[in-house]
A and B are shown apart, each in its own frame.
Chain A
């Protein structure tokens, strides 16, 4: 699976802060690299990379099926289910597939071995290439409850050894984000320079502290004047890896699904220097670790 310390996650407490902007541009400038979009509810990195030779793999979860001829109505499974995905109706368990977390506990505990598990497709993983970048995208089917199994599938895929891996995380700090950063060596927190931005930044900051992940902040949409996100970083002693200006040209390129660092010298320099800073931090952390 390669050296996981070279895996870099890009996260933020809210949507629209600039995770995809940062991770797409860093992967592009890294040359041979891997970009993994874990924002399975609305993946958009592939719109920028427009990968070729896309292959698709279905992602499935296990859902319990009750064999009523074997079930003796003991209710062990229903009482066990922490998610109340099983109801007890007319002396038999009844499965709510969309509530089930696929833990397998009901099948394991059934004293009559009356529960088996079927595969249920909840989404897919697409992989393709865009110049030197391997682009993997997780897509969850509409109406599914949890994208965590898709993220697991994405991150367990083999990638060529020694390539830097950029993981574009879902917004927030919930289970699926924890799954996305579990094995990474470094976290980039993208923040907006507002009070609201600081609130969201503090959420993901708490998360990476909890997971003891080396981290740094990129402040996006910077303007002149007061910068609450910067003040937060200084107060908490968090390294600021870079600042991206609030720039109409950058916004326009991004809205057209163009990779800014490919289109303009100015942004190539901006993201190039960010990449250099990030890689310096990552190498530093690896050296300290070993």
Chain B
């Protein structure tokens, strides 16, 4: 299964990015092959709709789970309809989060903030 995580830097000791839609990179991790790769988040410059585009990237790359500290309603809508599960990440490194996920210690994110989705003013 492929797992996606918004990250601040391109390595496993990086912290998980506090923002999903505006994270600089996404890490994709395959729980079967243990392979990882990183992707630039092209949604970062979006004046609005960053969460939707970021969620689209996760979906297009075939991830079935997202580990994130926060997630907006619009992104959640895309992920839910695409059957991607959203887990609440824990403080610590990306590696620690992957370990916790594989050990079944992460819980599903329950609180989704309202999508920014505001036009440029």
Contacts and interface: CB of A to CB of B under 8 A. Distances in A.
A159 interface: no
Contacts of A87: 52, 55-56, 59, 77-78
Contacts of B53: 84
Interface residues of B, number: 22
A84 to B, nearest CB: 3
Contacts of A94: 77-78, 81
Contacts, number: 57
Contacts of A96: 49, 52, 74, 77, 117
B105 interface: no
A84 B119 contact: no
B121 A90 contact: no
A145 B119 contact: yes
A84 B43 contact: yes
A94 B81 CA distance: 10
B26 to A, nearest CB: 16
A174 interface: yes
A252 interface: no
B52 A174 contact: no
Contact of A101 (B74, B82, B119): B119
Contacts of A85: 49, 52
B117 to A, nearest CB: 5
A176 B55 CA distance: 29
B117 A145 contact: yes
Determine the main DSSP class of A at the interface with B. loop
Nearest to A172: B121
A47 B93 CA distance: 56
Contact of B120 (A78, A84, A90, A175): A175
B19 interface: no
B48 interface: yes
Interface in A120-147: 145-146
Interface in A141-189: 145-146, 172, 174-176
B83 to A, nearest CB: 8
Q: Nearest 10 pairs between A and B by C-beta? A: A84-B49, A84-B53, A174-B121, A87-B78, A89-B81, A84-B52, A146-B119, A99-B49, A145-B119, A99-B117
Interface of B: 43, 46, 48-50, 52-53, 55-56, 59-60, 74, 77-78, 81-82, 115, 117-121
Given A78-B56, A84-B56, A85-B52, 12 more contacts: A84-B49, A84-B52, A88-B59, A88-B60, A89-B59, A90-B81, A94-B78, A96-B49, A99-B52, A99-B117, A174-B121, A175-B121
25 contacts: A83-B48, A83-B49, A84-B46, A84-B48, A85-B49, A87-B56, A87-B59, A88-B56, A89-B81, A90-B81, A94-B81, A96-B49, A96-B117, A98-B115, A98-B117, A99-B52, A99-B117, A145-B118, A146-B119, A172-B121, A174-B120, A174-B121, A175-B119, A175-B120, A176-B121
